[in-house]
Every structure is written in structure tokens, then in C-alpha cells.
Structure 1
Amino acid sequence: MGQKQRAARCLDLLSGARREMGLPTAVSQERGDIKIQGSDTHPKKEQRETMTMFENVTRALTRQLNPRGDLTPLDSLIDFKRFHPFCLVLRKRKSTLFWGARYVCTDYTFLDILEPGSSPSDPTDSGNFGFKNMLDARVEGEVDVPKTVKVKGTAGLSRNSTLEVQTLSVAPKALETLHQERKLMAEHPFLEEMRRRGENLYVVMEVVEAVQEVTLERAGRAEGCFSLPFFASLGLQGSVNHKEAVTIPKGCVLAFRVRQLMVKGKDEWDIPHIYNDNMHTFPPGEKPEDEKFTLIQASDVGAVHEDFRTLKEEVQRETQEVEKLSPEGKSSLLSSLSKLLGKKKELQDLELTLEEALGKGHEETLEALPKNVLLSKGAMDAILYFLGALAELSEAQQKLLVKSMEKKILPVQLKLVESTMEQNFLQDKEGVFPLRPELLSSLGEEELTLTEALVGLSGLEVQRSGPQYTWDPDTLPRLCALYAGLSLLRLLTKAS
């Protein structure tokens, strides 16, 4: 296939993907370049694009400030007021350290469930920090004034865009004073409900927030593969003329850190520095006076997830639970997921419904899934795990997964991701590495384009010349999520 034919085919793919995602489809070709023209004024579509860009900003910021750390990017602009210091949040049941814990907001702060008393001092600024190459390596940062960072736009953002951020955290002394002076309101309705459901509660202890209101834009030409999410599905060197914008309010939380709340007896509490998955806010089956809290070293947490084999074993455990479904159940689950992929809000709604159903502790049938799929607790638990992985992928990636299922190339894509991660899981430096030719040799032109785009959106840039690929350790969490998603879909398609 010649260069012009390949470009035309990629244009068709882009138009189809954008049409399915409800995005503008006007595309023209000039001198081998790709231009996306026009803009859609439909409010829901505008909101979806804005939210996607906000999520891109917060994730890129988090990768630069705290790669592989416990800083969590906020993924919803409308929820930022519910993630200020002292806000209470819930962690999704099937969170994993491989692609990061995910949290949902509540309508309460930690202070709301304490007995009345003196208010703690305001959160303090945590100090100086600096970074560069934010927003997919297209923005360079510089420390402008003490305790703040100014990020100035380059190719990826309009040049007049500046994002200034600072960190605010709860001072240890303020927390200590609060602990001495104020007990829990044992009969607070929210606390009683959480105790009944056995939920774990977390307190936001540190945030990264915008110092001033700013409108960030992706504008102008973006060079190279995967430079913009909507261009990524091309899998083609070139450029895009496209404009997106998001206004971030002053004081908007962009990322946050949490610590787990531990309840002792009826009204005693603690917020330990270190926590793990075996700890419970409301320890089950223990008398208050006998409650014990085992702390582990931070190094022990990392040791649990030290290599690719550990990830592979975790994914295999979850796929084994899905495999227990009847053939009809697996087929129905695949059909339902195929309709939901690319609709992030609907996928998240299903995840929330499963969260609630799992809390009931008995088998469930769900409206989002066919009536003939009766889910045991083990199956719900596993599906929730994979929904969490799929939710980490962009809508464009989810759509590409559907196309890949149609092309029956999921096994090849899974092997590609598995092979590169197996070789580089512990690699902490960027680099270009050779790719075994047989990993791509079975793919036709269109299948290769789909595969390049799919893995490229998770940060794995495959180059046909060589062939070779670029490894970036900061993209590891996204690749872990893609690996899990591919594993589930391959199992379901194989069964069908």
C-alpha cells in the first residue's frame, strides 16, 4: 500500500472513530498532512471533550510530580471541591497498585464526623518543587517563584497558557491537636452507614491545586505519532490542526494524596502514615479493646509488585474467576462490554453498580448485563477488577479495542504488550529497544495501524523501521491496565 493510500485509509479510520465517539468528523488531506476542521457546539459533546482534556492534564501533571508514587490525579473537573484537604473519600474495591488506586468522593469531610470543637489550622504549603516535560513532553516547566511552579506552553499548548500549581497539606501538628481534642460522633448517620457496609474511608491529606484560573488550549500543529488523543488512532507520522480548551478555576484540585481513617471502638480514631490492603477502617469481628493495627514499611508495599510475573499472576487469578462463567454467560458479558466500550460514563456507571452489588454480598443480576448472567461474588469481584482496568483507558482506546476484536487481533496485541513489559518492567530509564519482527509480522496494514494506535495511547510507541519501540517507565501503569483489559477480552472472544 502506497503512502497516499495509507494516509487515506487512516483518514477513514479516524473519521469512523470520531463519528462513533460523537466528535467532529470533517477531515481534509493537504500535502500528506491531516487536518481536523470545525468544532462541535453540542454542549454534552463539548463537556466530554473538556473532561477528557482535564483528565489528560491531571494525569500528565501527576506523572511528572510523582511518577509511580501515591499521588492520585483527579479525573473529574466538576468534583474538585470534594477533594480538598480533610474530605472523606472511598477507594474502589478492586484498586490495584499496578495502575493506581481510584477514589470516589463523598458529601462529607472528616471534620463533619467529629464532635464539635476547635477548627484545625489551614493546610500548609509543602514547599518548593519543579518539573518539566509536562503534558506528554510538550510543555516545559520552570520554577518562577518560591513554592510554586509555572508551566509554560510549547507545541502542545498555546503559548499564552501558563499553569501555576502549589501543594497544600495537613500539618502534622494540626492533626495531632485534632486527635487530642476531638472524638468521633459515634452515631453520625454517615459513619453508621459506612460501618454497616464495611467500607474503608480515606482522608485527603495533601492536594496539588491551581494557584490562578487558567485556560489551557491544545492548538496549532502537533507533530509526530500519538501527539493528540484523537490523532493517535491514525498510527501515522504527520500533523493535526485541532483545538481543545479547558478552563481550570483558581483553587481547583488537580491531584491529591490520602491516608486511611482507622476507627477504634465507638469514638476513637487514628490516621496512620502507612496503610495496606489488609487494614480496615472498621475491623470486622474484633472487639474494640482487642483491635490491632499492623503497620508495614513502605518498602514492603513496593516489594509486592516488583516484577511483571506478579502482575501476570494477579491478572490470571481474576481471569480464572471470569472463566467460571457459563459459555452463555461469557458470550453475554462480551456482548455487553462491546456496547459499553467507548462510552466511559456508562462503563463507570456499571462499575459503580457492581461496587454496590458487591457490598450486598450475594449473587446479582444487573440491568447493564443480560438477565441470563447471574454473577457470583467471585465473578463480580473479577469483573470489577477488569472494569477498573478498562476505565483507565481513553475512550479512543476503548473504541480501538472493539475494532481489534472485530479484526481478531487481540492475541497478537496481548503478546506485543506482554513481551515489551516482560523485558522492561523494572527498567527505570527511557530507551529505544529492538522489537522481535514476528510480533508484528502477522498483521496487515490496517491491523498494524490499529495496534500502533492502541499501544501508543498507553505510551508504547512502536516504530516499524527496525522494528523497534520506545520505552518510557512513566507509562507503566497505563500499560498494566491495557494488559489486563486485553487479557479479559481475549478470554471472552476465545470463549465465543
Structure 2
Amino acid sequence: MIKKVIQSIVNQMGSGSDLVLVHSILDQEQIRPLCLVTIQEKKMFQKSPHYRRARFKLEDVLLPGEDDKSTESLFPKGGHREPMQFTVTKSVNDRVDGNLSLPVEPANIEVNAAASASKEWSIKLEMNHIPVQEIQALSTKRKINMNHSFIQQLQKSGERLHMVYETIETSEDTTCKASSETGGGLKTWIYAKLCAKGTREKKQSITIPKGCTLAFRVIPLDITDGSWDLDYFTPQTKSLLVSDGFSTGKLGELEVEVRGTCQVLSKLSLDVSVILLKAIKAVMRDRNLFQELTQKMEAVLHETGSCELKTESPDLKNLLSILQYSSRQLLLQMAGAIAYVLDALDELTEDQLLLLLESLEEKIVPQQLKLVAAILEHNIEKKVNFRVDASLLSFSQEKEQELTIAMVEMSGVTLQKDGSVVCMEDAFPALAALCVSLYVLCVLNK
């Protein structure tokens, strides 16, 4: 829930794409001005790049200065300079009711359904920052300690260090609430009367403490032989791969990204594909397993030495055992692909994950992939109304069609059975994440 709240706040602020969103309120103590992080390359399906906490501040990796002054004395209160304060409020209340009666001899079927959703919060925020000119001045006085264990590990891994210079924090304790309820009744009379009803209610709330960092900005550090500088103009990296003529535009770029990262998955044996698919399905159902697998793949990718892969989960044990005894090259390829898949799944809602699992059971994932790819062939960031081939929405059973439409619409796209499409302005990342997820499930479900 915290992820949705933070994303909504940033959207309302309109603060630009350079803001990095905090993953968890547990991270906020280590995301302050002057804290160090590494930033992962932003995937096409992510609205904000992901970060990895370094657990160190700039002061921790600097050699002492001639005046022995710490950065805390140079930047009082972590660099706060008359923070700008503002309030973000959101209140949404929706309710939809429906009723359908179908006389079918000798039966009469009546379907009633209702759905409601509400979200409410008002958050007082402040923006704290350290002027980059002051940080630049510090770089001429203090050098990096190249013997620091973290700096040495960083140089071996090739990762680039960034420093937090601006944060958006809460200025008071705030409770955010969200609730949704769906209910339905099915009454069927076939000689004898049967009655079945179902209701699903979901309530969530989270209290965000005062002083909690919700989002932040960073600036890269260039380190050479102890000297360091700020990199104001970091170029955006682009893949040098070509799309092999599959598609053009954003879909073509997405295919390049997916194939470049997940190519190893298409080369797996049937047995290994089954084991990996079982693990992916398990983490889609269980958030704790999801986090465990994510952490282990990150450990593989960022550790310079060997990484022991053990678990108590029977759903992950076989996969981790295979990875444990793979060559270093294959291990890194697999960990990179799995981490990429988990990042895509993490962008989907809980309900979308459940619908994906049901789609696997119904064996309709390949057709769903074709449908989503057809939507992405259009420039949906500019062209919000168009049509796709209506046959892509034709399934053997009506419930499969409704399941598919519901899953796609959760990514900000409205679909009609005749192929009409209406996209929200910011639908591309969510739809791209769904496309990646469908592609990988198709590859693994051989």
C-alpha cells in the first residue's frame, strides 16, 4: 500500500521523473541527505528507478579534513535549509451496482453485483535539500578513503555511487486508509432452489511516521584515485541491441530490453523451466516468498564472492539448489533474468497476479500476450483512442474474455469487446510490466 500512496503523492506533485520512490518506510532512516545509494538502470515498465541502500553516509567514506570538521558540522541537521512545506490530499469514493436477470427454461438465473472503493489521506510534507554548490565545495577539501571496504567492493562490482541531496519527508504522523468491497449473488432455480452468494472485503491502513522519507533525488559521484566530483549531466544509457525487425517504437524497445535480459530463459531445459515456473507462481501468491527470492537474486548480482543460496521454502528449494551449483556465468545470467521478472511482477496489482495465475490454468496466456502487444504497438502515450483486432478478444469461454479484459484494465486501459481501446495517459509502464510478465510465463510454460 505504501508504494501506491507514495506514487500517488509524486503524481500529484508533478515533480518530474528524476524522483526516486522509497520502497518501504523501513528504508527511510538510511535515505537522508548525504546518504549513499546505488541506482539500478530504470526498466521501461518502471515509473521510478530502483535503488540499493549503501548503509553509509558521505562522511563515512571520506578521509578526515585538515580542520577535522565533520560533514554534520558543515551541513547542520543533515543539510536542511528552510524546508519547503506543502500538503497533498486525496479522497476517492466509487460505487458501482449491477443487476442481470436471464430467463432460461426451465431455469431462471439472476445475477446481482456491487463494488465500491475508497481511498483517503491528507499528508503534510516538506522538501529538504543540500545545495549542490556546497557539496561541490566539500569535494575540494576532503578526499574519498579508497581503503574503505565499501569503496573497494564498489570498485570491484563496477556499480556507480550516488548521493542523496534532496528528500521529501512527512512533517507529521499520517494514517492512510483504503478499502474495497465486491459482492455478488447468484440465484438459480432448476426444479429446486439453490442460492449462493459471495462477498469480498478488503481494508488497508498504514501510519506513516513524522520525518519519514517518501521520495528523494540523487546526484552521481565520480571517484578517481581518492578525488571525487559531482556528475551533473549523466547520459541516459541506451541498449545497443537492435530489435531484429520484430516491432518499432516503444514495443520494439521493450522487446530489445526483454530479450537482452531474459534470453537465458528460452534456453532452459524443460525440467528447469518447470522448476522456475513453480517458483514464480509461488512468489506470485506469497509476498514473503517474493521478497525472499528478490533479496537472494540481488545478493547474487551484487556480491563479488560466492553466495550461498539456501531456503526453508519447498517452493524455492529446487530452484536455488540448481542456481547454487551453476557456473558463475550462468548464475549471473539467471539471477539477472529472475530479478528482471520479479521487478515486472512487482509493478502489477495483487488482483492482476491472481488473474495471471488463473490465466495459466486456463491456458490463455499466449493469446493475452498477443492482445497486450497489439495495444503496445500503438503510441499509447499520445494516441489514447484506437482499435485492435477484435479476434484477439475472442476466447472459447466468456469467462476467459472477461478475465482478460479485467486484467488489462487494471493497467489503465479500457477495452471493449469490439476491439475499442481507451488508454490513460500514464498507462504505458503498467501495461509494459504486464506484457513482460505474460511473455516470461509463455516462455517458461513450455
Which range, TM-score by smaller chain?
A: 0.7 to 0.9
The verdict on how the C-alpha distance between 1:158 and 1:447 changes in structure 2, with shifts beyond 3 A counting, is closer
Which of 54, 65, 70 pairs up with 1:106? 54
Which of 271, 279, 286 pairs up with 1:343? 286
Matched residue, 1:412: 367
Q: Letter of the aligned partner of 1:406 in structure 2?
A: E
Matched residue, 1:148: 86
1:275 maps onto 2:234 in alignment: yes
Matched residue, 2:167: 207
- CA deviation after TM superposition for structure 1 residue 407, in Å: 0.9
Q: Letter of the aligned partner of 2:87 in structure 1?
A: V
CA displacement, residues 324-358 of structure 1 (integer Å, 9 cap, x when unaligned)? 22222222211221222222332232233223223
- CA deviation after TM superposition for structure 1 residue 241, in Å: 6.2
CA displacement, residues 48-86 of structure 1 (integer Å, 9 cap, x when unaligned)? xxxxx2111012223343487122222212222221222
- CA deviation after TM superposition for structure 1 residue 491, in Å: 0.8
1:472 maps onto 2:410 in alignment: no
The verdict on how the C-alpha distance between 1:107 and 1:365 changes in structure 2, with shifts beyond 3 A counting, is closer
TM-score (norm 1): 0.68
2:251/2:376 contact within 8 Å kept: yes
Matched residue, 1:326: 269
* Partner SS, residue 176 of structure 1: helix
- Aligned pairs for 1:32-181 within 5 A: 53-66=1-14, 69-92=17-40, 95-99=42-46, 100-116=48-64, 117=69, 118-121=73-76, 122-124=79-81, 147-155=85-93, 161-181=121-141
1:385 maps onto 2:340 in alignment: yes
Q: Letter of the aligned partner of 2:172 in structure 1?
A: Q
Q: Distance in 1 between matches of 2:134 and 2:90?
A: 35
Q: Distance in 2 between matches of 1:103 and 1:462?
A: 35
The verdict on how the C-alpha distance between 1:325 and 1:467 changes in structure 2, with shifts beyond 3 A counting, is closer
Q: Distance in 1 between matches of 2:308 and 2:399?
A: 38
Gaps of 5+ in 1: 1-52, 128-146, 224-238, 280-304
The verdict on how the C-alpha distance between 1:362 and 1:422 changes in structure 2, with shifts beyond 3 A counting, is farther
Q: Letter of the aligned partner of 1:96 in structure 2?
A: K
Q: Letter of the aligned partner of 1:185 in structure 2?
A: N
The verdict on how the C-alpha distance between 1:379 and 1:478 changes in structure 2, with shifts beyond 3 A counting, is same
2:374/2:388 contact within 8 Å kept: no
TM-score (norm 2): 0.75
- CA deviation after TM superposition for structure 1 residue 276, in Å: 4.4
1:421 maps onto 2:376 in alignment: yes
How many residue pairs align between the two structures?
378
- CA deviation after TM superposition for structure 1 residue 463, in Å: 3.8
1:90/1:202 contact within 8 Å kept: yes
1:319/1:491 contact within 8 Å kept: no
Matched residue, 2:253: 310
* Partner SS, residue 140 of structure 2: helix
Matched residue, 1:456: 409
Query: Which one has a bigger Cα radius of gyration?
Result: 2
- CA deviation after TM superposition for structure 1 residue 435, in Å: 4.1
Q: Which moved more, 1:109-118 or 1:65-74?
A: 65-74
Q: Distance in 2 between matches of 1:487 and 1:154?
A: 34
Q: Distance in 1 between matches of 2:440 and 2:155?
A: 33
1:208/1:254 contact within 8 Å kept: yes
1:186 maps onto 2:146 in alignment: yes
The verdict on how the C-alpha distance between 1:163 and 1:360 changes in structure 2, with shifts beyond 3 A counting, is closer
Q: Distance in 1 between matches of 2:29 and 2:202?
A: 30
Q: Distance in 1 between matches of 2:179 and 2:349?
A: 20
* Partner SS, residue 212 of structure 1: coil
CA displacement, residues 356-412 of structure 1 (integer Å, 9 cap, x when unaligned)? 223457998944315345360333332332222222223332232222111111112
CA displacement, residues 242-301 of structure 1 (integer Å, 9 cap, x when unaligned)? 532211112211122222222111x2112212224769xxxxxxxxxxxxxxxxxxxxxx
The verdict on how the C-alpha distance between 1:271 and 1:443 changes in structure 2, with shifts beyond 3 A counting, is farther
Q: Letter of the aligned partner of 1:115 in structure 2?
A: L
Matched residue, 1:485: 437
Q: Letter of the aligned partner of 1:172 in structure 2?
A: V
Matched residue, 1:24: none
The verdict on how the C-alpha distance between 1:268 and 1:363 changes in structure 2, with shifts beyond 3 A counting, is closer
- CA deviation after TM superposition for structure 1 residue 240, in Å: 7.8
* Partner SS, residue 451 of structure 1: helix
Which of 197, 215, 222 pairs up with 1:255? 215
1:63/1:474 contact within 8 Å kept: no
- CA deviation after TM superposition for structure 1 residue 487, in Å: 0.9
1:321/1:382 contact within 8 Å kept: yes
Q: Which moved more, 1:442-451 or 1:243-252?
A: 442-451
CA displacement, residues 154-175 of structure 1 (integer Å, 9 cap, x when unaligned)? 426566x422223222212221
Q: Distance in 2 between matches of 1:378 and 1:221?
A: 42
Q: Distance in 2 between matches of 1:452 and 1:81?
A: 41
Identity %, equivalent residues: 28
